[in-house]
Structure 1
Amino acid sequence: MGVSCGKRRISQAFLLVVALSLTIVASGFAEQPPPQEDIPSWVNWLNAGLPFDFELTGLDVEGGYRDIDGRRSSAKFQEYRVLEESPFLDHLRLSLETKDKKRYIDFTAIDSFKQDQSYLFRTGQYGGYELEIFWDQVPHLLSTTGRTLFATTHEDSTVNLTLPPGVASTVQAATPATRASVLAGFLANAAPVDLSFLTSKAGFRFKYVLSESLNAGARYTYTEKDGTIPFGAGFSSPGGSIVELPAPRFDRTHQVEIKTEYARPGWNIGLGYAASIFDQGIEKVVFDNPLSATSSATASARGRTTMDPSNQAHNVFLAGGVLLPLRTRITGKFSYGWRFQDENFVPHTINAALAADPQLALPRQDLDGDIRTALVTLNATSRPLAAWPLTLYGGYRFYDFDNRSSEIEFAAHTVRDTSLTTETRVNAPYSYTKHNAHLDAGYALLSDLHFKVGYEWERWDRDAKVREVPTSDEHFLKSSFDYSPFDWLLLRTAYRRSWRDISNYNTQAHQQHVVTDIEGEEFALNLQGQSALLRKFDEADRTRDRVEILASFTPVETLNFTTTYSLIRDDFNKSPLGLQDSRGWSLGGDLTYSPLPWLSFFVNYMREEFKYDQLSRSRPVTGNVATTTVLAPGCVFTTPTATNSNVVCDFSDFNWRSLNRDKVDTYGIGADVNLIPKRLDFRLTYTFSDADTIINSFNPVAPTSGTPAQQTSAKAVRYPLSNTNLHTLIAALRYHLTRNWSLKGEYRFEQFREKDWATDQIGQSGLTNLSPTTDTYLGARFLQNYDAHIGAFTLRYQF
């Protein structure tokens, strides 16, 4: 009932604006243009009192009142914005300049006094200096349906999430058969929790021209993120209990850049320094276990996790360019960087029943992370032959990522605070070097036909102790045409093909390094580990094709049509398992037409589609089988010398294929109508976007090997369709009362719909259409349907 009344209220208000406009149109007064006023008299009065010879040269301010109705409790409606039923200041822009036209001041404010506000202040002297000060905020509303039993307290940089007294002990005392329902009973009384955070950014930029050839500048940015986010945790091994936490978030980032440049005819050089310092305000999160109030060797009353650690990065750089004979210019850059992270390690476990084990003693107090980066780029452009329209391009790029952090051996570890595993584990400080080179030639075959051809090369040198492929090379051939036979027609095409060939793929490279180089033992393939047939897509053999086409027609000044098409295809046909094929394409067009001086409209459409073909294999593992057992073909013992061993089965008919398809259609149409010249303007726009995600999984052949239970687990499942779509309709009338004053009435309708089998039924103990589990969720839905009717009236003044 309230929604219907709201719709009527907004519709009546909008119709009132239309009626008012039509009434004015009916009068003879409306047919006259608004009174002219070059500089308002109050401006002259104000300028007479401004200090330092400043004068107000421009002012634009608009504000009004907004009314909102409809179903709008969904977080998606206010995801990155703040829309309220209240007065609002849409924008404020003012400009000042000295009488001698040498100095200036500009100030801009957008959405003031809201949590999506933005401010920018600029002042300077033309050709001398410029100072810019900015501050803006961006909200991110994640969900409005989250609920939790946890209470949050802070102690320095540690957050404690505690359950109400009696929850964990009651659930622990329940029988296994009733434990889920007992926990669900407590979760039914959970309190709402605000899942959102606010990003605030402030800083300044200063540039000073010291002389005609020399300038210097500095920039500083402070970014703060503060709020509460969903955070996944749990107890016991995978398959144990899941606990989704309402984790507070508070982190700050400081970014600094200082640079100077010296330029003379024919050459220039610049140098600078940049730094990024990340400060984590919340280092640890300690939380209660909803299933256990006491700790033992197999259960823990509490868990502990960490957020991203504080770290810092520094970089110095030198860049320059020089003109050479034969109309040649060379530019280059060198930079060197340092990245550090030395936050203290958190102990393996908070479980007192396990923490005292000497095997869990930390070998070091911190990572002492140290990464060095080096970048060298060199580019050249030349037109060596004055009589020939030939342009040559060449370049080389070298990037080295040198991770000097030490390898640290951990003799044992815990599995989410509930069990101790004695197994040597080593961190993987990953390093790599990347080389890129290109050589291109462009030639004007005709005055209106330009052709370009080129070659590129890319090499990756990876750390063989960490990655599966130490070295890979990729070669590119590319060409493009620009054709413009008439001033109203432009055709542009580009094609690129590349090949990446891999000669050596070590599936278990890191594990081999740990066993051979650190433990000093002979390495044998870990049958329970990563499949020897699997290829990671960034290291696999690949053939890539890329096509881009653009056509633009402007037969008359009032009509333009532009269409674009792009295609990218990756072929991984040499990968036994893993990504097999990837395709993406888009096709779109834009039409703008102004048939009359007072009328213009546009139509646009874009189709984007992405397809992925992945091949995987189910490899069932059976534990604690006597090694005297006769195994089926395709099955082996992981430890055949032991009395009992795990059994891994690798059946070729257990393959399953997944064809994933993402499809997005976007439509738009709109018109601008000048109903009365210089008096009344009308704008109408409508956009619709529709996105589908389709996951079609199937077995190429029916699983017949192994046991019936293994066959069942190997059968692929086709998932239901997921869809999101958004309608947006905007109608606005602006009436110019005078040259400076105008009144605007706007109506906006938004309708969002979503369908996702994975999240639509999410509850606090699992999916609501299934029986309760012993997992604990926030029940937070990030995408929900909404219908919003938004009406706004604004008054604008500008000169």
Structure 2
Amino acid sequence: MKNLGSFAAQRDRLSASRARRINGLNLLTIAVAGAAAQMSSNIASADSGNGVDTVLGNAMNPAGFSTFREKDPDGLGESPDSRSPTGLRTREPFLVKEPNTNANGWLYNANAEVGVIGGNATTARAAKLIEYRDLDDGLLLNTFGLQLAKPADAAFFDVNGGGVGRKDQFYSLSFGHYNDWKVKAFYNETPHVFTTTYRSLWSGVGSDTQTLNGLPAGGGASAAAAQTAIRNTLATTPYGELSLVRKKGGARFDLNLPDNWKFFASYSNERRQGARPFGTVFGGGGGGGNIETAESIDYTTHDLLAGLQFADSLQSFNLQLAASLFRNNIDTLTIENPLFVTINGAVSTSGNITRARYDLYPDNNFINLKSEYARRLPDFYDGRFTAAVSLAKLSQNDNLIAPSVNDLSASGATIGGAPIAAGQWNTTNSLSQQTANAEIDTRLVDLGLRLTPLNDLDVQGKLRYYETQNKTVYWACNPLTGQWGRIINDGSGSALLNTNYTATGCNVAATQALGIVPVAGNINIRNMPFEYKQFNYTLGADYRLNRTNSFNAAWERESYDRKHRERDNTWEDKLKLGYINRGFEEGSLRLSFEHGRRRGSEYRADPYDEFYSASLGPLPTANGTNVASWVHNIEQFRKFDLADRDQNILNGRLNYALAEGWDAGVSAQFKDINYPSSAYGRNSKQRQNSLNFDLTWTPNEQMSVFAYYSFQQARMKQASIWPNACVIGSTYYFFSDGTINTTGVVPVGTSLQGSTAVTAGNFLSVCGTAGAFSPLYPTSRMWDVTQDDRNNVLGLGLNYNFGKVRLDMNYTFSQGRTKIHYGYNPTALGMTALQTGLAGDGWSDMTFSVNTLESNLMIPIDKQMNVRLMHRYEVGKVSDWHYDGVAANPMPTNNTAYLDAGPQRYRATLFGAMLMIDL
């Protein structure tokens, strides 16, 4: 234990000494206050965008410092084969160096790791290889640190960092007086490379305006000319990168106040700049023009946190105010269109769509006031009571933009059958309101009580209430034209009611009073203000059967009250059982089982009429009207978050010392989810099973070998029906091969199975319910899809000390495979033999595998310097059917261009030589 009496221990002694001098605070109070501080900082710890980052590092130094430091030969002062209560061998701590002392009484330690790295990681430029790390060749200050302490003044100063000057650099600084005040500051950068195979057609990527390089906006004279021009340009355009860099810095101040109070405040600023792949679609539905563009990113997020804490031997209290202010420095993104796309309904080609404009993520604010209280109840079954109350407001009031940036009043062009006048759709006067005025409020109350009625029994109960209130309202109606709905994709598509309702002033009640049947029933006319109330009730107990065995059980009910959803209420009961056995001489066993059963109120497949055009007038009655748009979903369809669900989860973990020097562990999870009432949607059983083995062999103090293997397999199924038609006054005839017609003529080789007549009085029921003889959702047109995922991870490692020289080697193999299979009736869907052959019964397997071999050789020069030689070899293989053929044929049709060739295979080698210095 001699080394623990050095620098770190000096701090502990200073803390104790200082504690006796500050308002009589005792060590127990400090410990309670520390626990309360951790509880209060949960928000900052859980979200990288809130508060001060608690762990800094990069891909080469995940812990924020070099993990190849010398280990303490004395360990924790126990035997080399000492083990924790779980049966696992205790790990050797890093060696704590004795501090140096200068003439002014400061104790100090300093360290640095500097060197050079090289290889072909830079030239490989594979997105997956450099996704979150900077591996450029050259000099590298990998890590550095300086720790100072002055016992006489109880002062300290620490600074650490790494990756200096690179895109994944990080720094931390802390200073203050022990148990008095402290300041902690940090800064880090993280790159995110999305693709390295993007061929851009534009200048200005990363800005608010992207202009074409040599290509005509709007595609030129014809679609064929546009296709030829784009293909020729892509043939001479090299691959480029779409990426961003996240830069974040902040500081936190903690101050101990008299009478067990503490004040804290923090601020952080996060900036994200760059670009990422973005899809631009023209037209409606599946689109009449599709091209991969680049979304410009320039975000700034300000996070502020301030609060007060109190803690003594019986109770603790925390009050904090948090704010997160997001600012998008690019309000709108305008992109010139290289495709030949005409205005929706245009009768001449003079109305080509030349530009697209996006209203990017709006500036928004989040404010949260939270209060927490905890109290020990030593005279009431040694109990502990906890309470938390939280109020939050999320808001944004972004200036809305016009539906189109283009002038749609081109000669002869129409929208919704009406001629377009200048300014009708490309000014904000066409909007029902000028700003979003969006707001969601949340409320949280969380109460808990834990008691120990018997020495071997703990019981606890918890009550949690959470509520969201959505105060956002927007009506989609153009007061200039009196048309409900909207144009989409900058005028290349539309979802509008043709009727001019100008006289009603975009008033819902006045429009309904006209009694006009809408031209369609599924046009969105208002936002859906989803909101809910969530209740959680939990009862649990932990019982120690004896010194080595314990059992725990808990019951929880979770219920939701929802607005504007298919179910008003859902409730789920969860039963959790656990068993722990530490009775093995050299091991431990942990088992747990959870059963969940979710049910709910009546399921209404389509509760959204009030937000669609169907609510603006009576139901259609005229023969010949296709009323499919009035039926928005299959009656038997179930959304997975609302559907009845039965869930079982079994977990197990066994740690065991097989023999002296041998440690083994096995863990497993088996998850089975069933949707018993879901005929369509996510249905049948969903399974996910995981298994993990790990083995460590430590024959002596010089060598350690480890191996592990993890396997996971999952399956998910879904089903739906490709809709047919539902026309009032028609009779639909169904035949044995799945085909349908309205003539009653029996196709050759089939027989008539049944028929259904559609009338004004029955279309909602006969067309909204799937069945063998449903005109809109016949089961012969059903399709189903099964997704199978399989993942394997294998790891091997060796640590060996050749006297003073140490070798670390690690090999990792990771592989993932996804199979997607589907089933359908091609005859019922009207597919030709050629189409059926092309569609097949599934996609090609998507696979991803990475092999990594990493070696580090540490050679000591003297007590203060070591040389580390490093080598990393990595091979990555990717197969994704989304990108099949894209590199060779990026523009297969005259209205679709794929500019990103997708992830590529790579093979990369990294070498490095580092000098590690400890002063």
Give your verdict on TM over 0.5: yes
Structure 2 residue 312 is matched with structure 1 residue 264: yes
Aligned residue in 1 for 2:141: 89
Aligned residue runs from structure 1 range 93-132, under 5 A: 93-100=145-152, 102-132=154-184
8 A Cα contact 2:402 2:431, kept in partner: yes
**How far is 1:101 from its partner?**
6.7
Show CA shifts across 1:496-544 (max 9, x none).
111111331111111255467x636469984553222211100101000
State the partner residue of 2:599: 501
**Does the C-alpha gap of structure 1 residues 403 and 713 become closer, same or farther in structure 2, counting only changes over 3 Å?**
farther
Higher mean alpha-carbon deviation, 721-730 vs 416-425, is at: 416-425
Q: 1:184-199 residue pairs with structure 2 within 5 A?
A: 184-190=231-237, 192-199=239-246
Confirm whether residue 145 of structure 1 aligns to residue 197 of structure 2: yes
Deviations 1:365-386 (A, max 9, x none): 1121111100010111110234
Match among 513, 525, 539 for residue 642 of structure 2: 539
Structure 2 Cα separation of the partners of residues 650 and 306 of structure 1? 37
- Determine which of 149, 156, 159 is the counterpart of 2:208: 159
Q: Name the residue aligned to 2:473.
A: 406
Q: Any idea what the Cα deviations from partners look like across 1:315-363, whole Å, max 9, x if unmatched?
A: 1011101222111111010010111110111111123125747588211
Q: Does 1:449 align with 2:549?
A: yes
The amino acid of 1:271's aligned partner reads L
- AA at the equivalent of 2:577: S
Sort the Cα spacing of 1:727 and 1:424 in 2 relative to 1 into closer, same or farther, 3 A: closer
The within-5 A match list for 1:713-724 is 717-724=841-848
**2:895 maps to what in 1?**
774
What's the offset of the Cα at 1:488? Answer: 1.5
Q: CA deviation at 1:556?
A: 5.2
Q: How does 1:14-93 map onto structure 2 within 5 Å?
A: 47-48=102-103, 53-56=105-108, 58-69=109-120, 72-93=124-145
Looking at structure 2, the residues matched to 219 and 37 of structure 1 have their Cα atoms a distance apart, in angstroms, of 31
Distance, in Å, in 2 between the alignment partners of 1:624 and 1:713 is 32
CA–CA distance in 1 between the matches of 2:906 and 2:826? Answer: 44
Counterpart position of 1:328: 383
Matched residue, 1:348? 403
**Structure 1 regions of 5+ residues with no counterpart?**
1-35
1:313 is aligned to 2:366? yes
1:519 aligned partner: 616
Change (3 A) 1:534 1:713: farther
**Per the alignment, do residues 409 and 788 of structure 1 end up closer, same or farther by CA in structure 2, a change over 3 Å counting?**
closer
Give the structure, 1 or 2, with the largest relative contact order (CA under 8 Å, sep 6 or more).
Answer: 1
- Residues 98-130 of structure 1, C-alpha deviation per residue, up to 9 Å, x if partnerless? 042711111111111111000000112211112
Instruction: Tell me which moved more, 263-272 or 374-383.
Output: 263-272
State the SS of the aligned residue for 1:187. helix
Aligned to 1:681: 806
**What is the CA–CA distance in structure 2 between the aligned matches of 1:705 and 1:296, rounded to whole Å?**
31
Which deviations, in whole Å up to 9, do the C-alpha atoms of 1:590-630 show, x marking residues without a partner?
Answer: 11121112111111111112210112222245999999993
Deviation at 1:649, TM superposition (A): 3.6
1:567 to 639, 655, 670: 670
Post-superposition CA distance 1:260-284 (Å, at most 9, x none): 1112332222111000100011111
Partner SS state of residue 698, structure 2: strand
SS of the residue corresponding to residue 733 of structure 1 reads strand
Equivalent residue, structure 2, for 1:731: 855
Are 1:373 and 2:373 matched, yes or no? no
Q: What is aligned with 2:265?
A: 218
1:670 paired with 2:722, answer no
Report deviation, 1:579. Answer: 0.8
Structure 1 equivalent of residue 53 of structure 2: none
Counterpart of 1:17? none
Supply the AA of the counterpart residue of 1:302: R
AA matched with 1:233:
T
Query: Match for 2:647: what amino acid?
Result: R
The secondary structure found in structure 2 opposite 1:779 is coil
Alignment size in residue pairs: 736
Q: Does 1:394 align with 2:474?
A: no
Residues 167 and 191 of structure 1: CA distance in aligned 2, closer, same or farther (over 3 Å): farther
State the secondary structure of the residue aligned to 1:249.
strand
Which of the residues 561, 579, 584 maps onto 1:461?
561
1:445 counterpart letter in structure 2:
L
Contact 1:666/1:690 (CA < 8 Å) preserved in 2? yes
Measured against aligned partners, the alpha-carbon deviations of 1:625-659 in whole angstroms (never above 9, x if no partner) come to: 999993666787798999xx9x9642212222211
Does the CA contact (< 8 Å) of 2:217 and 2:355 recur in 1? no
Corresponding position: 1:287 with 2:338: no
Change (3 A) 1:605 1:281: same
Give the Cα–Cα distance (whole angstroms) in 2 for the partners of residues 549 and 339 of structure 1.
41
Q: Is the 8 A contact 1:634 1:651 kept in 2?
A: no
1:194 CA displacement: 3.3
Q: How does 1:615-764 map to 2 (within 5 A)?
A: 615-621=719-725, 630=742, 649-676=776-803, 679-699=804-824, 702=825, 704-705=827-828, 707=830, 717-763=841-887
After superposition, what is the alpha-carbon deviation per residue over 1:756-784, rounded to whole angstroms, capped at 9, x for unaligned? 122243249647xxx44422332242x21
Matches of 2:421 and 2:758, distance apart in 1:
33
Q: What do you get for the CA RMSD once the two structures are aligned?
A: 3.2
TM, length-normalised to structure 2: 0.75
SS at match of 2:231: helix
* CA separation of 1:84 and 1:144: change in aligned 2, threshold 3 A: same
Alignment of 1:230-245 (within 5 A): 230-237=277-284, 238-245=286-293
Percent of residue pairs identical = 23
492, 501, 506: which is aligned to 1:418? 492
Change (3 A) 1:212 1:752: farther
- Please state whether the residue corresponding to 2:230 is helix, strand or coil: helix
3-state DSSP of counterpart to 1:180: helix
**Which sections of structure 2, spanning at least 5 residues, go unmatched?**
1-94, 347-351, 409-419, 478-483, 498-522, 621-626, 733-740, 745-753, 768-773
C-alpha separation in 1, matches of 2:852 and 2:779 = 50
For residue 529 of structure 1, give the secondary structure of its aligned residue in structure 2. coil
Q: Secondary structure at the match of 2:896?
A: coil
2:909 to 784, 789, 797: 789
Aligned CA distance change for structure 1 residues 304 and 739 (closer, same or farther; 3 Å): same
Instruction: Please report the TM-score for the alignment, with normalisation by the length of structure 1.
Output: 0.86
Shift of the alpha carbon at 1:93?
1.2
**Contact 1:295/1:352 (CA < 8 Å) preserved in 2?**
no
Q: Within the alignment, does 1:583 sit opposite 2:708 as a pair? A: no
The residue type equivalent to 1:779 in the other structure is: D
| 8 Å CA contact retained: 1:764, 1:779 | no
Match of 2:742, as an amino acid? V
Paired residues of 1:610 and 1:663 also in contact (CA < 8 A): yes
Higher strand share: 1
Quote the Cα distance in structure 1 between the aligned partners of 2:340 and 2:727.
27
